[in-house]
Every structure is written in C-alpha cells, then in structure tokens.
Structure 1
Amino acid sequence: MTADEQDAALPGLARAAARRSGAAARARRAKQATPVELAEVDPVARVLVDLPLTHLDRPFDYAVPAAMADQARPGVRIKVRFAGQDVDGYVIARAAATDHDGRLAPLRRVVSDEQVLTPAVAELCRRIAERYAGASSDVRRLAVPPRHATTEKEPASPEPPFEDRPVGDGQNAWAAYTAAPAFRRHLMTGASPRAVWSAAPGEDWPRRLAELASATRVNGRGVLICVPDHRDVARVGAALTEVMGPDHHVTLQADAGPGPRYRDFLMVSRGTRKIVVGTRSAAFAPVHDLGLVVLWDDGDDLHAEPRAPYPHSREVLLERAEIEGCAVLVGGFSRSVEADQLLQTGWAKEIAAPRPTVRERALIAVTGGDSKRDPHGGGARVPKEAHDAVRWGLERGPVLVQTPRAGYVLRLSCDRCRTPARCTACSGPLQLTGPTTPPRCRWCATEAPGWACAECGGRGLRAPVIGDARTADELGRAFAPVPVVTSSGDRIRATVDAERRIVVATPGAEPVAEEGYAVVVLLDTWLLLARDSMRAAEESLRRWSNAVALLRPGGRALAVGDPGEPALQALVRWDQPGFAGREAEERREARLPPATRVAVLRAAPGALDDALTLLALPEHGDVLGPLAPLPGAADDEERAVVRVPRAEGAALSAALGELQRVRSARKLDPVRIQVDPTEI
C-alpha cells in the first residue's frame, strides 16, 4: 500500500493528526539540517551530561551557537540533545576544534550563566567517581545543589573587610598541644601542613578551629570545615562569628532549605565568602583559593554518604587537598584507624597534648557496676557508685548520664529462666513503654498483661536492656528535687544551661552544657561493645570520648562496665591514639581495612555471579562469598566481598569501574558496589 492509500484509509481526525505530526517531524528535521552560525572563538564545548549510565560517563563535544558564545562558559548549566531527548549538563571547557568526524549537535540553551562547577570541583567529582566505581553525575549531584532561579537573581552581598583580630587566649590554648604552634604559623605564612589532632578532654574545639580559620584567612586563602551534624555546624558557626566577626562565613547543610542553601552556595562560588562550615556535602563547596580543609570527628558514620557512590568526607577532603595543594587537619577527641594510618605512613604529623595536661583536664574511673549495686536498691538500674558520682556532681553543676538505648524497657525476658518474652500473636519481642503500662509487642503493639513464660510458666519479667526513659525515671525518684531531662531520638537538645540538673542522653545526642558538666556517667558500656560490627570497640570509644569531652575542667567521669575491657582502659588513660594503633595492627593481621582495600558487591544471585565472572581482579585480590544478605536487606540479595592489598586499591577501583561500564552498556541487571564501606 502506497503512502497515499494509507493516508486515505485513515479516518478523518486520525488523518489530520497524522498530517500535523508528520509536518512537525519534517520541520524538526529541516531545522536540524539548517546550519547554525557558530561562535567565532572556541566554537566547541566539552560537556558533561547528567546521565547515570557509567558507560556514557565522559565528556561529549557540542557546537556553540554564536548567540551563546558569551554565556556558554566553563562551569555553567546547559541543556543538550542526547539520544533523542533534552538532558541537563555542564560545560567544562571550550575548544577550537574537535576530534569528532561528523557534524556536532549544537547546545540547546544555557540554563544559567552562573559558573557553579569549578574546574577543581569537576576534577574532584571525576576522581571520587573513579575511586568509588560510580558515575560522576551522581557525585556532581552531591557537589552542586539544585538551581533556585529566584535566589540566583539576587545581587551578591560583598564580604566585609577581613581584620586579623586578636584571638584572646587562643594562642595559649594551642600552645598546650605539641606541634600546634608550628602548624598555626605555617597556615599564617601560606604553607600547607597536614596534621591529625587529638583534642584533650574539655577542649573548646569549635573555637580552636575558628582560630585556625582566622590564621588561614590572614593571607587571603579560603577554609572548608566539615563536621558530622547540624548541631556541630551551629557551634562552629558561632565560634567563627565570635573570632572573626559576622558575615565572614557561610554554612552549607541539606536541612537549610533550597533557597537559603543555594544562596550560601552562590556566595561561595562567586567568591564573596571564603570560609565554609557544613556537613558532608560541604566537602565539595567551590571555595576560592582554598588554603585549609578540616574534618572533625572523622569516625562518625554521618560522614559516610548513604547514596551512590557512597563517598566518605575524609576521602573527599584528602583528594581535594591533593588537587588544590592545601593544608589538612583531621581532628577529634578519639582517633579512627584511618586517621592513625595517615600518621603511620608519614602523610601527616600528630598534634596532641602531653600526658600531664590530659590528666589535669579530667579524672576518669571504671566500676564493675552489676557486682556492686546497692543491696537495698532492688532492681535498680543505676549502681551505687554512679549514684554517688551523680550526687557529688549535682553539688557543683549539671550531670550527664549516657545510656546506650532510647525508650523505657526495650526488651523483656522471664526472670526465672531468662527466656526472651515473646508476643503470642506475632512472636515479636515484648517491651515496656512506661512505669504503669502493661507489656506490649514491639512489632504489632499487642498488649500482654497476663503473659506467662512458655518454657517454665513463670510470670515475672526482667529487663536485660533498658532505655533512657527508664533511667531518667529512676534518677528522678532518687534525686527528687533536681530536674531530669532527656535527649534522644527526635527530641535532641543542643544545649543546657549551667543550673543543677541531670541530663540523660543516648550516644551522639548529648547536649552541650553552658560551662561544662561536673560529672559524666557512662552506663551499660557492654551494650555498645556488643554490637555485631568490625568497628564496635572503636565506635564505642569514640562515643564515650565525645561524652567525657563535655566535662568542665576538673570534672569527673565514671564508666560502668568491665574494668579489664581494652577500650575502657584506653578511655581511662585517654589513650585513643594507642588504641587506634593496636586496632590497626589487629586489622592488618586479619587483612581488614584500612590495611586492605575492600569492595562489597550486592545483587540478585544470578547478577552477582555474572559480575564476579566479568570482574578482572588485581593480581593479589581475592573474593569472599557469595555471603548471606545483611539484616534488613532483600531476601533475594546476595553479597560478595572483594579484597586486595592497599597498594592495589587503584587497580581494584579501575576494575570495578570497568565492570560497571560493561554491565551498563549491555543493559544487565544492576549490581550495587560499595568501595571501602564503614561496615562489611
């Protein structure tokens, strides 16, 4: 059938629609065939398109129309035609010629003339994507916030003149640390030192970082400070304002909202602010003339990005320091094994306080707890030594009690045979939500007022795991005139005043006391250590150290646990560096990170087998698995662990990247890859 016969066979309306569609298609083809007048200078634009396909993760050449010659600068957002559709992208360079043999498609339009992707950040995104075997478009999504057109039209507010203010006792405070004065002098002269800082208990670390930022700004360079959460951002921001005055810094964090966040980002990209403090995404901030990057508390898992390709702030900042040649400071009250490795390899120098200084800051003790409970206390949650410490502290100020779990009684068991108490409806664990409520199921919320043990028939219940609400309830009865407040879950307090009070908080939710706590009590330390994790001891010591660091000078800390536990011994001696060194040695013997480079592959069984077959392992690499899925993962998901010596880490990343490109090009089932995850 000819085209005319086909056209005549169509009903009237359908025939008219087909004619209009055909005319539109012919018009588009004619428009595309019409030569576009190109820019006279550098008519070729190198473009990175925002596509999550790893086999297309490379620059593409496009023609620059003359009308866009002035706007299509490196770093701007543009629209291009790719595979039959309009997609977003960035211009990363302009060139006079192209290696492409055919005719280049022109840029569709310039979305904005703001240069939001600087060359240094573009290179950083490329390297991070390569290291973590991901797509650079996913990394750019972390680096550049979504455009907010209304905010973009606002004029830039200039930074007030910077004055090198006197920092009060800051110089004396840094003098308490070996090598710190030299580090500070290097920053002031424009050098790029690298150090790992072990802060002493009670240290006002936000102010110390603000003083280093001020020292770096003396010679006109920028500063980037990454901290775990928004409470830390607020503390560092307040310290920067106190040391340098207002309007010299911006904060970058996801919960600021699209408009304010983009406004602060633009002030950085335009160069009107050179000091940035924020959470993990701030590691990509386009700071001009970057002179110092700071990472505080690098062991906190909030620094690990939960979205692909799962980069860690520490690796991003270290890579950035390599690209831009700036100074580095990794600091915290505890020390991660990764930070310890920076020292062991000679990449960084140590900044630490002498032992006498540490001993003057805090007195830390450990009690067995369970073996020494008050004989008249019945089922008391808090041992007598802890009660005595709380009483001593309340005579001098606020007291902090850290408990590992939120809630009232999180788990119940038979007090006769210790069999876990289970719901008769769904077999879920029973718990108590208050002092007068009956037991109820944590899964289906069914109440069980008449529960009886299925093993021995006993009706008594005991609480092997108790939460912060039960702890606060008991302390409130024991110290009735004193207010008791809790901080956990979605009710986290940022600060408390210097009045006498008891603060019960879960790890990481401890509020900062106005003048420091008189006493810090760490309950149930065994519970943190019992986590099924390679980093259980390291993470426990970090959380305890952060709590003890909130003490005022001369304060006391008491940990309830096994006095022979190595992590608790390290806490008592305030020897986190020694503990990190021993942990690193044990992991080296077990061939675990950071002595090795590890990648975890997760996929359906068939897809995982295919991936392992296609993967070209480095010479000394080995594969563990397939292994059972982790708790919470899909039932049909398997995982495998690929491990290589650290010297072959780059080769492993390259092999994994090639694997992802091959699977993407062949449209095979996806495989999720995490390089150097915090948990294996």
Structure 2
Amino acid sequence: MPVATRPANRGEWQAAAAAPVARVAVDVPLTHLDRTFDYQVPAHLDADAQPGVRIKVRFSGRLVDGFLLERAETTDHVGTLAWVERVVSPEPALAPEVAALARAVADRGAGMLYDVLRLAVPPRHAKVEAEEPRARAPLAVTAPDPAGWARYRHGAALLDALGAGRAAHAVWQALPGEDWATRLAEAAAATVAAGRGVLIVVPDQRDVAVLCAACTAVLGADAVVALTADLGPAERYRRWLAVRRGAVPVAIGTRATAFAPVARLGLVAVWDDGDDSHAEPRAPYPHVRDVLVLRAHTSGAALLVGGHARTAEGQLLVESGWAREVVAERAVVRDAMPRIVAIGETTAQEERDPALRAARLPHVAFEAARAALDAGKPVLVQVPRAGYVPWLACGSCRETARCRHCAGPLGLPSGTPDGDAALPHCRWCGRAEPAFRCAHCGSRRLRAGVVGSGRTAEELGRAFPGVQVRASGGGAAVLDAADARPELVVATPGAEPQVDGGYGAALLLDGWALLGRADLRVVEETLRRWMAAAALVVPHGAGGRVVVMAPSDLPVVQALVRWDPVGHAAAELASRTEVGFPPAVRMAAVEGPAAAVAAVLDDVEERLGATVEVLGPVEIEPDPRAETDTPEERALLRVRRTEGKALAAALHAAQAARTARKATDVVRVRMDPPQIG
C-alpha cells in the first residue's frame, strides 16, 4: 500500500480511512487534564500513527508531546477533532502493557499518568533508533541446578513453577553468606527456558554489576541487558530498544527498570525491597515493590521479592495469602550465620568491662576484631554515617543532648562564625548552649553522639597499630571488593565491599543512632542494614563473629542475634496494625501552605465522609526547593486498606479542582509516606 504524502495545505488533509480517531496521553502538567484526548489521524500519517508512538499535537494553541495510546473508529467528543500534527518516530516506544501499568501506578499514588510515563519511557535518541536493530541470538538455556534453591523450603517448587510458566508469588529470605545473585540468575534461567522474559530490579549500580555477571554466567551474554542511568542516554536507549523489540529476554537494572517493556514477561523480581533507593523521589513516588506487584497482577507474571531482611509490606503479602514464603529451616540458618553478640547480653560482659554501655568500642568488640585479624581475615566496621560529629550526647548516660529552649538536638556549628562558635548550638532554633546540663542524669559532660566514618577510621588506626584501615563510602570512594587479608574496612551502610571468603568479624557501631531517627520504617531499616553487613561474615563454625553496639534487650537486636527476619517482620506488621500505620492501612501525607492544605482536606472529607480520618495538620519546615519561605503544614489522611483506591481518587480529584481554579500554591501529596508526624 503506498504511503500517503502530506498535503501542503492543512485544509486538504483527509482523515485515515480506518480507525481515524487517536486516543492520546498529552504532556500537560495540570491534574484536571489527566485523561486521554481524542485527535484525528490524517491519512498521510496513517501508517506511522500506531499505538505506542510519540507524537506532537496542538493543545490550547501550543504544540506539545504525547503518546498515541490506541486507535478507534468513533469519539464521544462533540465538535471537530484537532489533527495529530506529527509522528515524532514510528518506533512504538510505549508498550500497551506498560501504558496500562503506568495508569495503575498513577491511580494508586494519586498522581498523573504522564508523570509515570516519564519514568517508564526514556527520552528518544534519534541516532540510536536509526541503527540496525539488534538481532535476537539463538539461546540454548537449560533448566538450572536446583541444589541452591533446595536449601529453602518451597525453593525447588518455585523453580518448578517458573519452569512451567506458572504465576508463582514468593517472598524469599536469603541465608547469611548466600550468593543471592546466582540464585536470582537461576530463577531467571528457569523462566527463560520456558520461553518467557525476566525483569529484575536491584538497589544500586554495584548490585547491577554483580547480578549482571551472575546472569551472564548462567544465561550467556546475549540473553541479558543491564539498564542503568550511568550508561549515558545513547547506550541506555540502545539497550532499552533491544528489550522493547524482543531481542533480549532478561532485563536487570535499578528503579526505572521496573517499567522495562520485556516481551512475554514471566518473572518480575526485586532484591532488597527495603532499600530506600527503590522509592522514586518524584511524584507520584512509586516504590519498585508496589510497581512489580501491580505488574505481576495485571500481566500474570510470577513475582519474587528477595532480601536478607523482610519488610512489613513483604510480610503482608505472605499473611494475606497472595505470596508464599521461601525460607530456610532453622538448622540451616544456624549453620550459615555467624555468632552475633549484643551489648549486655551476659553479666560476664559487664563484669569484665565496667564501661561496656558507655564505650563506643567495648572490650568485646576489640576482642572479636583481634581474633579475626589474628586468623588472617579482614574486619568490617559499619558506621551509620560519614563525617565526624553530627550531634552531641551526654557524656555520662549517652542520651541526646538537647536545647533548654526548644528541646532540639545540640551540635557543633560549622564554618567560622562569631565568638561563641566553640559552644554547642541547637540544630533547630540555633541558640548557643553555654551551660549544658543533661535532663536525665544531670551531668554537664558532652561527647560526640555519632562519630562518623572518617573519625572512626582515625581511631581504629590508633587502636590497631600496624593494621591497614580502609574506608568505603561516606565521602571516600565506594569499594566494590576488599582484599582477603587482615585489615579493617570502615564502611557506611550500603557501601560494604565484598570479600572472597567473607569477613572474619563485623562491628556494627552506634546502633542507637540508627534507631533514633524519626521514620516509620526506622526499626526494620536498622535490621536490614545490620543483616546486610552480618551476611558478609563467615559462619560461626569458621570463627565468624558480629558485635552489635546496641542493648541486647531491644526486640530488633534479638531478631538479629537469632537471625529471625520473618518473626521481626510479623511483629512489626502486628504493631503497625495495632496503631493504624501502613501497610496495615493506607495513609497519605498532604503538604503545602496552610490554606491550600485545608482546602484539600475539606474536599477529601466531603468526598469520603467518615471513612477518612484526618491527623493534624502540623507545621513543618518549608520545602527547600520552593521559592518562598511561606510557613507550610502537613496533614495525614488515614483509611482502611480496602479504601486506599478511593482515597487516592479523592486526592486526585481535589488536586484537579485546584488546578482547574488555577491555584498557584503547590500542594504535595504522597501516599503511604515513610515519615509519620
């Protein structure tokens, strides 16, 4: 069929003979316009204007971007339809499944479709599109060896389900020292052997490199593609096109890879779903785990949520019956884990070291480090953050030092200000505190509340003369691997380098600093960070020891000592259910100027009535990205979990009403926020 030529005169344009109506998602940043719009497809664009292509249309007199979602014969629009002006590229960049997923993600997060499409579809690179398409190489993938998964209850059944193309849903807790990347590669191989595609999302580039190497070893280089932002726009788009065109069955990468258009999708997986890197920082703030759950539900793919620890959201998937847990028996766990020691777990500890609870590195920690170094193995020292002295604590009881005026935490000022620069200052109100007295014990002594990784490395260098001290993260370069020799490796959470053969010991410092943060997920996040570090230590049978500097009577410390992420997740979910926090309920945070927040709350309450509970509002710090210092407030909205969809819809409608009235003040809406209060 010959391609129609474009008439020079717009008045001579003719509509396409078949399906002349295009349903278009238009890039317009107004909530009340978050819907599809109908346009006419001219005959000269009929061949190229296919579902999924990028197009240009006129909207309110301006030429704007859009995606053509579908072609139709009729329209409900009354009047004459505007024309599709141009097809930017005939490449169908937006797969129908991804378009439906983006709509579901936007609806769940009270957001806009096009905001999600920006996350899902990378920017076009015309030169790459013009290249010869990557051919799909013949794959000879065989069923993987089930021995690795056989260590877990239901592990072999999971591989069988993937090999049979069934939509299994599993939450997997990896053993200490587990080669998690190889296990995921084996799950991918079972899926590819069944003729299906695979999508795996990991937190960061280091994990991508490890997983890519494992998948390449099991599946071959032609079957795997890694999608990360640091590839550059051209190479990333080249690899993304290979996935979109069906040339590669396995896509792995970071956050945005959750939307990768893998053909015949059979498995979606996420590793370490509690890592905050999986949460998108832009509206509508989707989380990778939630995106993949939606995708598994809508596409019929299998889902695998894995990690050393377990989140409350993962526990809810299990307790609801939607997913099965893949965990090892207790005897297997005990054999694989190192010996984990907490502060004050025996009276002998305190008799041996009277300063046990006040010391940052008590005798038991030095003893574990020296034993590992003498055995020729490296020692991992995990420090909560970088730097030197973030804030101050009482030198006697170690309670956070607080301002007498506003109860804010005290710290040492940076820079070179006026004469009282050496005095502690409040981090909230800025007042100097010349005469500190602890409200708990009355002491006037101050000490560093958290000594960061830089100072820790200096201290350890003096405490262990002749032993090399290396830093990873916290201002220093992040090491991918450390040497299997007696040395000290000081790392911030997430920057712990791998060691062939494992560490001999790990010291988890300043546990109270991790647990003292104002965050809904602080306890499970602390356990996740501890377990990630402890999992790098050799088993107790090989002398592996972990010392956690936190009181032994804390439930989270007990969960680490027993290596019981499942029990801790169940208790965490139960406690959140009792107090009405996510994921037991659906909540939304509404932030912005007081009047605007009040208007949104009134609108939502009018729509939902008694089904919604309003908490607040309370005053918060203004958004640092805003151009004004107008005081802002935050309110929380809470509904039953079954009413979450209605809450998101009501918030979307409230925002739409504001943009329709041309309101200029910005109100930020986030479903299930990590910070409560």
Q: Would the TM-score normalized by the shorter structure come out above 0.5? A: yes
Q: Which residue of 1 aligns with 2:105?
A: 128
Q: Which of residues 75, 78, 81 is equivalent to 2:52? A: 75
- Aligned-pair distance for 1:459? 11
SS of the residue corresponding to residue 620 of structure 2 reads coil
Q: Which residue of 2 aligns with 1:575?
A: 564
CA distance in 2, matches of 1:559, 1:114: 54
- Aligned-pair distance for 1:294? 0.3
- Aligned-pair distance for 1:496? 1.3
- Aligned-pair distance for 1:249? 1.3
Q: Which of residues 229, 241, 252 is equivalent to 1:266? A: 241
Matched, 1:597 2:580: no
Q: Which residue of 1 aligns with 2:119?
A: 142
Deviating more after overlay: 138-147 vs 241-250: 241-250
Q: Which of residues 633, 658, 672 is equivalent to 1:676? A: 672
Matched, 1:501 2:487: yes
Q: Which residue of 1 aligns with 2:619?
A: 628
Q: Which residue of 1 aligns with 2:462?
A: 477
CA distance in 2, matches of 1:488, 1:446: 33
- Aligned-pair distance for 1:602? 0.8
CA distance in 2, matches of 1:421, 1:539: 25
The residue type paired with residue 563 of structure 1 is S
- Which structure's CA Rg is the greater one? 1
Distance 1:430 1:564, change over 3 A: closer
- Aligned-pair distance for 1:460? 8.1
CA distance in 2, matches of 1:241, 1:99: 51
Q: Which residue of 1 aligns with 2:440?
A: none
CA distance in 2, matches of 1:321, 1:456: 56
CA distance in 1, matches of 2:203, 2:417: 34
CA distance in 1, matches of 2:290, 2:419: 49
Q: Which of residues 75, 79, 97 is equivalent to 1:102? A: 79
Q: Which residue of 1 aligns with 2:226?
A: 251
Distance 1:618 1:172, change over 3 A: farther
SS of the residue corresponding to residue 350 of structure 1 reads strand
The residue type paired with residue 414 of structure 2 is R
Q: Which of residues 157, 163, 185 is equivalent to 2:160? A: 185
CA distance in 2, matches of 1:447, 1:544: 42
Matched, 1:644 2:639: yes
Would you say how many aligned residue pairs link Structure 1 and Structure 2? 635
Kept in 2: contact 1:228–1:280 (CA 8 A): yes
Q: Which of residues 346, 359, 384 is equivalent to 2:321? A: 346
CA distance in 1, matches of 2:445, 2:78: 83
Query: 1:9-88, aligned counterparts within 5 Å?
Result: 31-32=9-10, 34-88=11-65
Q: Which of residues 555, 558, 570 is equivalent to 1:566? A: 555
CA deviation map 1:120-145 (0-9, x unaligned): 00011111111111110100000001
Query: 1:649-664, aligned counterparts within 5 Å?
Result: 649-664=644-659
CA distance in 2, matches of 1:130, 1:628: 28
Distance 1:126 1:373, change over 3 A: farther
Kept in 2: contact 1:228–1:300 (CA 8 A): yes
What is the percent sequence identity of the aligned residues?
49
CA distance in 2, matches of 1:148, 1:333: 39
- Aligned-pair distance for 1:515? 2.3
For structure 2, the residue ranges without an aligned partner over 5 or more in a row are 1-7, 425-432, 438-442
Q: Which residue of 2 aligns with 1:617?
A: 608
Distance 1:416 1:559, change over 3 A: closer
Q: Which residue of 1 aligns with 2:383?
A: 403
The residue type paired with residue 42 of structure 2 is P
Kept in 2: contact 1:79–1:109 (CA 8 A): yes
Query: 1:200-599, aligned counterparts within 5 Å?
Result: 200-368=175-343, 381-394=360-373, 395-412=375-392, 431=412, 441-442=413-414, 454-455=434-435, 462-491=447-476, 492-553=478-539, 554=542, 555-599=544-588
Runs of 4+ in 1 over 4 A off after TM superposition: 369-377, 412-422, 427-431, 443-453, 456-461, 630-635
- Aligned-pair distance for 1:50? 1.1
- Aligned-pair distance for 1:467? 1.4
Distance 1:542 1:417, change over 3 A: closer
SS of the residue corresponding to residue 46 of structure 1 reads strand
Deviating more after overlay: 413-422 vs 138-147: 413-422
Distance 1:580 1:261, change over 3 A: same
C-alpha RMSD of matched pairs (Å): 2.7
CA distance in 2, matches of 1:417, 1:521: 22
- Aligned-pair distance for 1:601? 0.6
CA distance in 1, matches of 2:397, 2:328: 50
The residue type paired with residue 369 of structure 2 is V
For structure 1, the residue ranges without an aligned partner over 5 or more in a row are 1-29, 432-440
- Aligned-pair distance for 1:296? 1.1
SS of the residue corresponding to residue 292 of structure 1 reads strand
CA distance in 2, matches of 1:503, 1:346: 42
- Aligned-pair distance for 1:429? 6.0
SS of the residue corresponding to residue 553 of structure 2 reads coil
The residue type paired with residue 570 of structure 1 is A
- Aligned-pair distance for 1:444? 5.0
Kept in 2: contact 1:133–1:660 (CA 8 A): no
Deviating more after overlay: 667-676 vs 107-116: 667-676
CA distance in 2, matches of 1:371, 1:320: 53
Kept in 1: contact 2:453–2:474 (CA 8 A): no
CA distance in 2, matches of 1:534, 1:579: 15
CA distance in 2, matches of 1:550, 1:361: 11
Kept in 2: contact 1:177–1:354 (CA 8 A): yes
